Structure 1
């Protein structure tokens, strides 16, 4: 499986940020780090803490 493209990373970051604003008011930001075909997503809480949220596997397209 190919590594995550730059455009897919940008798309994911934008979608996560928008979703967090609408559904997770307790989060200040959402941050994704990338390794190979995976994106590891964590939320930053208002008190400064970090909350691991999910690991996503790249399926070859930003929408899948």
Structure 2
């Protein structure tokens, strides 16, 4: 749970939303290459020749 100042929380939430929008744009661009779809299953994002998942609390990408 966040324990800082409300204005810091709002700033961090806005930054998180902007980064999430960047991720969505990247996934759309990957699909736009026409080599395959990006799918989500079992906590992993998988696409044409890559997989993104959490290992030991960090996001990792494997090609």
Q: Specify if TM > 0.5.
A: no
Structure number with greater Rg is 2
- Which one scores higher on RCO, CA 8 angstroms, separation ≥ 6? 1
TM-score by length of 1: 0.38
Structure that is richer in strand per residue? 1
